[in-house]
Chains A and B, each alone.
Chain A
Amino acid sequence: MTQLTDTPFTIAGRDFRSRLLVGTGKYKDFTETGAAIAQSGAEIVTFAVRRTNLGQDADAPNLLDVISPKQYTLLPNTAGCYNAKDAVRTCRLARELLDGHNLVKLEVLGDDHTLYPNVVETLKAAETLLADGFDVMVYTSDDPIVARELEAMGCCAIMPLGSLIGSGHGIQNPHNVRLIVEQSRVPVLVDAGIGTASDAAMAMELGCDGVLLNTAIAHARDPLRMANAMKLAVEAGRDAFLAGRMPRRQSADPSSPFAGRING
Chain B
Amino acid sequence: MSTPNESIQLTLNGEPYAMTAGLTAADLIEQLGLGGRRIAVEINEQIVPKSQLAATPLAAGDQIEVVHAIGGG
Contact = CB atoms under 8 A, between A and B. Distances in A.
Contacts of B61: none
A213 B73 CA distance: 7
B30 to A, nearest CB: 11
A18 B65 CA distance: 35
A22 B71 CA distance: 11
Interface residues of A, number: 36
A96 B70 CA distance: 15
A interface: dominant SS? mixed
A95 B14 CA distance: 21
Contacts of B14: 51
B73 A97 contact: no
Interface residues of B, number: 26
Nearest to B35: A58
Interface centre among A52, A62, A96 (most CB of B within 10 A): A52
Nearest to A55: B32
Contacts of A51: 13-14, 65-67
A214 B72 CA distance: 8
A62 B49 contact: no
Interface in A15-68: 22-27, 33, 46-52, 54, 58, 62-64
Nearest to A51: B13
A93 B65 CA distance: 9
Given A47-B71, A52-B13, 18 more contacts: A23-B71, A23-B73, A27-B71, A46-B72, A48-B72, A49-B69, A50-B67, A51-B13, A52-B68, A54-B13, A54-B32, A58-B34, A62-B37, A62-B68, A63-B68, A63-B69, A93-B40, A96-B49
Interface of A: 22-27, 33, 46-52, 54, 58, 62-64, 74, 76-77, 79, 89, 92-97, 165-166, 212-215
Q: Which 6 A-B pairs have the closest CB atoms?
A: A48-B72, A23-B73, A214-B73, A58-B33, A96-B40, A24-B71
16 contacts: A23-B71, A24-B70, A47-B72, A50-B70, A51-B13, A51-B65, A52-B34, A58-B32, A58-B33, A58-B37, A62-B38, A63-B69, A93-B40, A96-B50, A97-B39, A97-B67
